């Protein structure tokens, strides 16, 4: 029984070392695929103005690597987090990728982060940076999307209880 408990404890420690034990900030979420966040562009904001606002917000915190106004696409270079406590960690890097949909009515972005463990990069996202950027974009160009209420069932629909 004692050997089993020791094995379980060692397994848990190895799992922690594989993720959080990388030395990354608590806001780092290791994942193989980052997800796009989407928001509607405010109806009164023209694309030219929205583009300028997005570039301004991103360049306050990131260095740009690729930019295409015609395609509505911008990507920053990987760099250290702009949060003070993460600045000294050169093994932790973050970038932002942002784009407008072709009709320019929606804006999408994702935060890509990675942590170097001495051998390989562990890919993920940073929830703190994502929340901060979401707030900045919503305040500038975004429109809060209301969740649609489910339609009430019609009188002739079958409901199982």
Q: What is the DSSP string of 95-136?
A: EEEEEE-TTSSEEEEEEEEEEE-SS-EEEEEEHHHHHHHHHH
Q: Please, which pLDDT band fits residue 58 given cuts at 50, 70 and 90? A: very high
Candidates 144, 148, 147, 150; CA nearest to 38 is 144
User: Between residues 2 and 62, which one has the greater pLDDT?
Assistant: 62
Residue 153 placed within a domain:
no
| Assigned domain for 82 exists | yes
Residue entry with tokens 């004692």: 2
User: If you average pLDDT over residues 7-22, what whole number do you get?
Assistant: 46
Q: Percent of the chain, pLDDT > 90?
A: 58
- Predicted pLDDT of residue 80: 83
Domain of 94 in residue numbering reads as 31-143
112 assigned to some structural domain: yes
Distance CA 148, CA 161 (A): 24
Least trusted range by pLDDT, from 24-28, 34-38, 99-103, 135-139 = 24-28
Q: Is residue 1 part of a domain?
A: no
| Count: domains in the chain | 1
Residue 154 within any structural domain of the chain: no
Question: What would the pLDDT profile of 101-153 be if each residue is shown by its tens digit?
Answer: 999 999 999 999 999 988 999 999 999 999 999 999 999 999 866 555 554 44
Q: Are 46 and 141 in contact (CB under 8 A)?
A: no
Residue 149 belongs to some domain of the structure: no
pLDDT of the residue at 83? 72
CATH of the domain at 128: 3.30.530.50
Q: Is 114 left (phi over 0), alpha (psi -120 to 50) or beta?
A: beta
Residue 60 counted as domain residue: yes
């Amino acid at each position: 029984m004692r050997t089993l408990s020791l094995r379980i404890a060692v397994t848990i420690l190895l799992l922690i070392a594989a993720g959080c034990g990388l030395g990354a900030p608590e806001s780092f979420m290791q994942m193989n695929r980052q997800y796009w966040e989407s928001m509607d562009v405010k109806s009164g904001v023209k694309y030219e103005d929205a583009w300028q606002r997005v570039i301004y917000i991103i360049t306050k915190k990131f260095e740009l690597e690729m930019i295409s106004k015609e395609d509505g696409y911008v990507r920053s270079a990987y760099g250290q987090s702009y949060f003070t406590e993460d600045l000294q960690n050169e093994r932790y890097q973050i970038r932002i990728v942002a784009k407008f949909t072709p009709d320019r009515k929606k804006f999408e972005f994702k935060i890509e982060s990675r942590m170097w463990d001495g051998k390989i990069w562990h890919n993920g996202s940073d929830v703190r940076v994502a929340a901060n950027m979401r707030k900045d974009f919503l305040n500038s160009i975004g429109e809060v999307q209301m969740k649609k209420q489910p339609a009430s069932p019609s009188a002739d629909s079958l409901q199982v209880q």
